[in-house]
């Protein structure tokens, strides 16, 4: 199999170390070795191709997985990626997480998507080519892409590293108007993606490749509020909803030595919450237990992706404490008097900026915090969606594109 174009043909013979070996090296601490240099020992032709002399010079077709209708099945299709601009990197996608947002978007829960829709905003891959002014990456390094791929870079929020709230409109990774190429953006359920280097995240050499992708949405979405509200050791933090986001919220809060309590609707997750480091987990329907926790919490983070009654949770906040909704579900049934008497806050938080996304990746690497994942093949995406909706995932599905390419598993 050709290392350049994934085709079977004789004139692009494999050169030097095979792909599996290169990726193992990347995971073992040698990601900074330029792939072109590695390949040059065995085949000048392949090395030249990898050095971006041709790769990415024109718009190109890639295989992707997406839906052709609102709520339709995820199936293989072809999409076009743009030619590399001077600051673009071309990434060969190895792993892509499945976020509940992907399912909401495909099913039109937040409005009809543009079609076809190719989801995926937890993307990890290897840099195949770089534009001629790229300084952040070299060919062969591992890069991540999270929930956004472009912003104006000049507005007040962008200048404050809050690109996710760009005042001129953030370009999200999929189903978002693409200001560079026109049309809509396509996400990470695809063989390759082209992104401006500003929006690609450096993955430290030695970081586990298989489990890292979910940090790029589930991780940053929960890390950002813990930082913004300055959670300190010993403070009581509640995590409402134990799914992909919630399990990262628990791990990240426990790593700050917070005292964590989980609220879940699934009895089978109570033991899991404790295993993840929580002091205890309670069922929402246990009203008596919740009443005993009146005025207990310094911060609550809700990852629940649908509308629900929030007042029982507001009652558990201390004076001046905050309930943060990161799940985008409607907060119903708020009693303004209870907020006034306790000077309590209801807040929202959406992912994080690029600098903060880099920070959570570096933080998770330094502290060895890894999402709990289940690896699936691309042809299992539809079944995985059903399992996410049925709360039957522990705790993030990651689509394995690496083993569909050339030499099998490329996990280390
Ligand atoms: Zn997400
Ligand atoms: Zn901006």
Q: Compute the distance from residue 156 Cα to the ligand 2 centre, in Å.
A: 7
Tokens 């989801």 identify what position?
119
| pLDDT tens-digit map of 82-138 | 999 999 999 999 999 999 999 999 999 989 999 999 999 999 999 999 999 999 999
Q: How far is the CA of 291 from the centre of ligand 2 (A)?
A: 44
Position 19 scores a pLDDT of 33
pLDDT tens track for 281-324: 999 888 999 999 999 999 999 999 888 999 999 999 999 999 99
For residues 139-154, average pLDDT: 98
CA of 68 to the centre of ligand 1 (A): 21
Do strands 308-309 and 123-130 pair parallel, antiparallel, or not at all (unpaired)? unpaired
Q: Is the pLDDT of residue 352 over 90?
A: yes
Distance 161 CA to ligand 2 centre (A): 9
Q: Which ligand is nearest the CA of 152, by number?
A: 2
Domains, the chain, with CATH or none: 19-217+353-404 (3.90.180.10), 219-348 (3.40.50.720)
Q: How far is the CA of 167 from the centre of ligand 2 (A)?
A: 5
Which ligand lies nearest the alpha carbon of 327? 1
pLDDT over threshold 60, residue 12? no
Q: Would you say 389 and 409 are in contact if contact means Cβ atoms under 8 Å apart?
A: no
How far the first Cα of the chain sits from its last, in Å, is 20
Give mean pLDDT, residues 156-169: 98
pLDDT in tens, 255-275: 999 999 999 999 999 999 999
Distance in Å, CA 176 to ligand 1 centroid: 14
Pick the range with the lowest mean pLDDT from 8-12, 52-56, 289-293, 390-394. Answer: 8-12
SS3 64: strand
Q: How confident is the model at residue 228 (pLDDT cuts 50, 70, 90)?
A: very high
Residues 75, 64: Cα–Cα separation, whole Å: 8
Cα-to-centroid distance, 82 and ligand 1 (Å): 24
* pLDDT band at residue 239 using 50, 70 and 90 as cut-offs: very high
Residue 61 Ramachandran class (φ > 0 left, ψ -120 to 50 alpha, else beta): beta
Distance 165 CA to ligand 2 centre (A): 7
Residue pair 331/325 in contact (Cβ under 8 Å)? The answer is yes
Alpha-carbon gap, residue 118 to 91, rounded angstroms: 16
Average pLDDT, the chain: 87
Residue with the larger pLDDT of the pair 43 and 195? 195
Find the ligand nearest to 214 CA.
Answer: 1
pLDDT tier for residue 369 given thresholds of 50, 70 and 90:
very high
Ligand with minimal distance to 154 CA: 2
Looking at residues 218-247, what average pLDDT do you find?
97
What pLDDT is stored for residue 284 in this prediction? 87
Please check the confidence at residue 22 and state whether its pLDDT lies above 50: no
Q: For the residues 227-241, what does the mean pLDDT come to?
A: 97
Segment holding 261, helix H or strand E: strand 259-264
Please give the distance, rounded to the nearest whole angstrom, from the Cα atom of residue 387 to the centre of ligand 1: 16
Which-ligand-closest: CA of 350? 1
CA of 218 to the centre of ligand 2 (A): 23
- Judged against a pLDDT cut of 60, whether residue 27 lies above it is answered with no
Residues by chain with Cβ below 5 Å of ion ligand 1:
99, 101, 217
pLDDT digit string, tens, across residues 63-86:
999 999 999 999 999 999 999 999
Judge whether residue 158 has pLDDT over 50. yes
Q: Which ligand has the nearest atom to the CA of 170?
A: 2
- pLDDT band, very low/low/confident/very high, at 9 (cuts 50, 70, 90): very low
Closest CA to 198 of 129, 139, 152, 156: 152
Sign of CA dihedral 211, 303, 145, 143: negative
Report the separation in Å between the CA atom of 60 and the middle of ligand 2, taken as the mean of its atom positions.
29
Q: What is the β-pairing status of strands 308-309 and 331-332?
A: parallel
For the chain, give the percent of residues with pLDDT over 70: 85
The pTM for the full model equals 0.86
Question: 53: pLDDT confidence band, cut at 50, 70 and 90?
Answer: low
Please determine, for residue 214, whether its predicted confidence score (pLDDT) is greater than 60: yes
Between the CA of 100 and the centroid of ligand 2 the distance, in Å, is 26
Q: Among the bound ligands, name the one nearest to the CA of residue 155.
A: 2
Decide if pLDDT at 411 tops 80.
no
Rounded to whole angstroms, the Cα distance separating 211 from 268 reads: 23
Which residues does 286 contact at the CB level (< 8 Å), separation at least 6? Answer: none
220 CA to centre of ligand 1 in angstroms: 9
**Number of the ligand closest to the Cα of 164:** 2
* Cα 217 to ligand 1 centroid, rounded to whole Å: 5
- Higher-confidence residue of 217 and 31: namely 217
> For residue 163, how far is its CA from the centre of ligand 2 (angstroms)?
6
* pLDDT band per the 50, 70, 90 thresholds, residue 405: confident
The neighbourhood of ligand 2, an ion, using CB within 5 A, equals 151-152, 155, 158, 166
Q: Give the Å distance between the CA of 99 and the centre of ligand 1.
A: 5
For residue 222, how far is the Cα from the chain centroid? 11
Give the count of alpha carbons within 13 A of 221, CB side only.
31
β-strand pairing of 201-202 with 142-145: antiparallel
User: Which of these, 245, 236, 282, lies nearest to 262 by C-alpha position?
Assistant: 282
Alpha carbon of 340 to ligand 1 centroid (Å): 33
- Mean pLDDT for 29-42 is 29
C-alpha 98 to ligand 1 mean position (Å)? 8
Ligand nearest to the CA of 166: 2
How far away, in angstroms, is 177 Cα from ligand 2 center? 15
Lowest mean pLDDT among 17-31, 94-108, 220-234, 388-402: 17-31
């Amino acid at each position: 199999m050709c290392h350049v174009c994934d085709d079977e043909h004789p004139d692009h013979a494999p050169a030097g170390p095979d792909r599996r070996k290169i990726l193992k090296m990347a995971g073992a601490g040698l990601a900074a070795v330029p792939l072109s240099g590695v390949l040059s020992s065995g085949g000048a032709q392949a090395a030249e191709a990898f050095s971006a002399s041709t790769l990415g010079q024109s718009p190109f077709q890639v295989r992707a997985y997406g839906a052709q209708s609102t709520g339709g099945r995820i199936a293989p299709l072809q999409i076009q990626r743009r030619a590399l601009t001077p600051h673009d990197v071309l990434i060969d996608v190895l792993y892509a997480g499945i976020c509940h947002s992907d399912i909401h978007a495909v099913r039109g829960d937040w409005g009809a998507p543009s079609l076809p829709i190719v989801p995926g905003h937890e993307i990890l891959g290897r840099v195949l080519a770089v534009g001629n002014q790229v300084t952040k990456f070299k060919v062969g390094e591992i890069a991540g892409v999270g929930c956004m791929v472009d912003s104006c870079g000049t507005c007040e929020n962008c200048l404050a590293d809050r690109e996710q709230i760009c005042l001129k409109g953030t370009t999200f990774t999929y189903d978002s108007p693409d200001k560079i190429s026109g049309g809509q953006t396509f996400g990470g359920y695809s063989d390759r993606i082209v992104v401006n280097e500003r929006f690609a995240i450096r993955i430290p050499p030695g970081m586990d490749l298989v489990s890292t992708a979910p940090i790029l949405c589930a991780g940053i979405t929960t890390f950002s509020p813990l930082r913004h509200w300055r959670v300190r050791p010993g403070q009581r933090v509640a995590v409402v909803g134990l799914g992909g986001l919630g399990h990262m919220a628990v791990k990240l809060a426990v790593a700050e030595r917070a005292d964590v309590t989980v609220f879940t609707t699934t009895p089978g997750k109570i033991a899991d919450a404790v295993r993840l480091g929580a002091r205890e987990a309670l069922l929402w329907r246990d009203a008596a237990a919740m009443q005993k926790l009146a005025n207990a919490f310094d911060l609550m983070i809700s990852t629940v992706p649908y509308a629900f009654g929030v007042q029982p949770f507001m009652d558990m906040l201390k004076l001046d404490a905050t309930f943060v909704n990161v799940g985008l579900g409607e907060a119903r049934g708020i009693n303004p008097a209870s907020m006034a008497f306790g000077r309590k806050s209801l807040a929202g938080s959406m992912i994080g900026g690029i600098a903060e996304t880099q920070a959570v990746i570096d933080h998770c690497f330094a502290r060895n915090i890894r999402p709990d994942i289940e690896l699936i093949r691309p042809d299992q995406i539809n079944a995985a969606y059903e399992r996410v909706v049925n709360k039957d995932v522990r705790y993030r599905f990651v689509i394995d594109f690496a083993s569909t390419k050339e030499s099998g598993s490329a996990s280390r």
